[in-house]
Amino acid sequence: MAYQLLNDEEIVKDLGQKIEYLRRLKGLQSKELCEKGGAGYTAYRNLVNGKNGVSLKTFVALLRGLGELDTLEKLFTVKNEYSPTGKIEEPKKRIFKKKHISTPIWGDEQ
């Protein structure tokens, strides 16, 4: 699914449907999944139904209950580019916006 084309609510609903599909695929009851992951049943139902207000903590707990935390880790795996010297630059810790310096306009340059 092309998430770039969806709004936030539609993405949350799709993620909830995927969690629900995995639960059924693994043969777990809803309450069993919540108990295994440490998530509340109401929060689980809200995610599955695509309702707002579901925390990332709940999402992680449900993935833990499904045994799918490695899927989340794969999502944020950063591959470093190859460097022939073996030296890979770390990204900057702070990013500053460049200041625009305007040149003064003199009387005869207008």
| Per-residue pLDDT tens over the stretch 34-45 | 999 999 999 999
* CA nearest neighbour of 16 among 37, 40, 36, 43: 43
Rounded Cα–Cα distance for residues 75 and 41 (Å): 26
Specify the pLDDT at position 109: 58
Specify the pLDDT at position 107: 67
Specify the pLDDT at position 110: 53
Rounded Cα–Cα distance for residues 32 and 34 (Å): 5
What residue segments make up the domains of the chain, in order of their start? 29-74
Q: What is the pTM of this model?
A: 0.70
Rounded Cα–Cα distance for residues 110 and 100 (Å): 20
Cβ atoms of 17 and 48 closer than 8 Å? yes
Whether the predicted pLDDT of 13 surpasses 70: yes
Neighbours of 5 (CB within 10 A): 8
